[in-house]
Amino acid sequence: MKIAFLGPQASFTQLAATQLFPNEELIPQTNILDCFTAVENGELDKAVVPLENSIEGTVSMTLDYLYKTSDIKIEAEAVMPIAHHLMIHPNNEAEELEKIYSHPQALAQSFHFLDTNFKNVQKQEFSSTAAAAKYVSEHPELKRAAVANQFAANLYGLKIIHRNIQDFEQNHTRFIVISKVQNVYDNEKLNTLGEKSSLLITLPEDHAGGLHQVLSVFAWRKMNLSKIESRTLKTGLGNYFFFINVVGNWDKVLHENALEELKSIGAEVDFLGNYKEYLLES
């Protein structure tokens, strides 16, 4: 089985994919769209992509492609603690730094540490933490550092000069496994956090109480919603779709009736799947 992941090598997504699919072939993709396209076209079987970070929020591109790619389903969700380290080429010294490279989110998540300890060192955004680490490893003549993970430091032979520089301890990223078929993913080697279902809902039209009408479908059935997020349809101001997570096992009678009621009031509903949530190691 071939699994796509948001690359390059040594990215946090690869670290997640390695734990989710330790015995499968992992193939890096340049961006999130490439991951969705590879699965949609049948080039690869599944893909692992980031969905949300506890500090920076939802990865909007993932949410948008879940909506745009109608055949895609979610098979599993995995939460991984994120640890950022500051690393340099072993030939260089921390006092000589002129620039620090990393992904925009990694720089944002370690902003206070970098501002306090390297205030006068220029920060520059890179396409990924791993790409930043790779660049630093390939240019020892430059006085550069990267914010990346331990995996990247090991792969590219970099020296970590500061560990765990993220500003908040509770820094976690949520990843999802996507595929065209709603398979059951089960991994007894990983800790299970719970079970949930995901829905994409588009309201029939903009009118007073429209969202309340949709949410009442879940409320009177006592269906616990752990996430409600709106995203623009990109068809004009005020036009949105909603990404909703329902906690627990999906009941074939009670919950299926909820979908039918949503459709009866004119809402468009895309059921993305019922799946387990796992805890990964950093």
User: For residue range 185-235, what is the model confidence (pLDDT) as tens digits?
Assistant: 999 999 999 999 999 998 877 666 678 888 899 999 899 999 999 888 766
Q: Which residues, at least 6 apart from 143, have a Cβ–Cβ distance to it below 8 Å?
A: 92, 96, 97, 98, 99
pLDDT at 42 over 80: yes
pLDDT at 181 over 70: yes
8 prior amide bond cis, ω within 30? yes
* Mean predicted confidence (pLDDT) in 30-47: 94
Model pTM?
A: 0.86
* Helix, strand, coil in percent for the chain, rounding step 5: 30, 35, 35
Percent share of the chain, pLDDT over 90 = 67
Categorize the per-residue pLDDT at 7 as very low, low, confident or very high, splitting at 50, 70 and 90: confident
Query: If you compute the radius of gyration of the chain from its CA atoms, what whole number of angstroms results?
Result: 21
SS3 85: strand
Would you state the pLDDT for residue 238?
A: 62
Strand order in 85-88's β-sheet? 122-125, 99-102, 144-148, 85-88, 159-162
State the chain's mean pLDDT as an integer: 91
pLDDT at 52 over 80: yes
Of 168 and 144, the one with more pLDDT:
144
**What is the rounded distance in angstroms from the CA atom of residue 98 to the CA atom of residue 144?**
6
Categorize the per-residue pLDDT at 237 as very low, low, confident or very high, splitting at 50, 70 and 90: low
Q: Which residues, at least 6 apart from 16, have a Cβ–Cβ distance to it below 8 Å?
A: 5, 48, 78, 80, 173, 175, 280
- CA distances 107 to 62, 136, 145, Å, are 20, 16, 12
Q: Which amino acid is at 207?
A: H
Categorize the per-residue pLDDT at 236 as very low, low, confident or very high, splitting at 50, 70 and 90: low
Report DSSP state, residue 223.
P
**Which class for 107: exposed (0-12), middle (13-18), buried (19 or more C-beta within 10 A)?**
buried
* Mean predicted confidence (pLDDT) in 108-121: 94
Categorize the per-residue pLDDT at 118 as very low, low, confident or very high, splitting at 50, 70 and 90: very high
From first CA to last CA, the distance across the chain in angstroms is: 24
Tokens, residue 50? 């980031």
Q: What is the DSSP string of 141-209?
A: TS-EEEEE-HHHHHHHTPEEEE----S-S--EEEEEEEESS------TTSEEEEEEEEEEEE-SS--TT
Would you state the pLDDT for residue 254?
A: 84
